[in-house]
Amino acid sequence: MKIEKENLLYCISIILYLISLTQNAFLLNNEDGNYGYLALIFGFYVVFDTGFSWLANFLIVFSWLFKHKRTSLYYSLSALILGVSFLFIDEIVMGTNNKYGKITDYDIGYYLWILSFLMMTIRNILNYKKTICQQSTVLKNK
């Protein structure tokens, strides 16, 4: 049984995302890391305050679910851009008490999260490219 590289990249993207949730994502005030699943659960506070990078979680899920190749590509590329934009945020709100913490470092969970988006974007580019090549072949044969 041959597994297409697009399907392999799709699976790798999901696996990397799930692993990222079990790892430290970033450090606040040089203290212990924040696990990815906590950033996922409580990250919506950041959306209302310092940035939209948390919305990348929705975008990557949409990318996994949409079968339309171009739409999936747009979602994964948007997730990648928003995910990387988190690097430009210096401090975030810590919980509901409006205290801010300075982001002092990024950990493996963050990089796996971004790598998940990158794998899905690459997968979608390859998939979309294959579709365009097939369409051009059909047009040449007419």
Residue-level pLDDT at 135: 67
Residue-level pLDDT at 51: 72
Decide which of 33 and 110 is more confident.
110
Q: In whole angstroms, give the CA distance from residue 7 to residue 27.
A: 34
Task: Evaluate if residue 69 carries a pLDDT over 80.
Answer: yes
Residue-level pLDDT at 39: 80
Task: Evaluate if residue 18 carries a pLDDT over 90.
Answer: yes
Residue-level pLDDT at 43: 72
- Mean pLDDT calculated for residue range 54-74: 93
CA within 13 Å, CB half, 68? 5
Mean pLDDT value across the chain: 86
Strand order in the sheet with 99-106: 33-35, 24-28, 99-106, 91-94
Residue 27 binned pLDDT confidence (cut-offs 50, 70, 90): confident
Q: What is the pTM of this model?
A: 0.85
Residue-level pLDDT at 73: 96
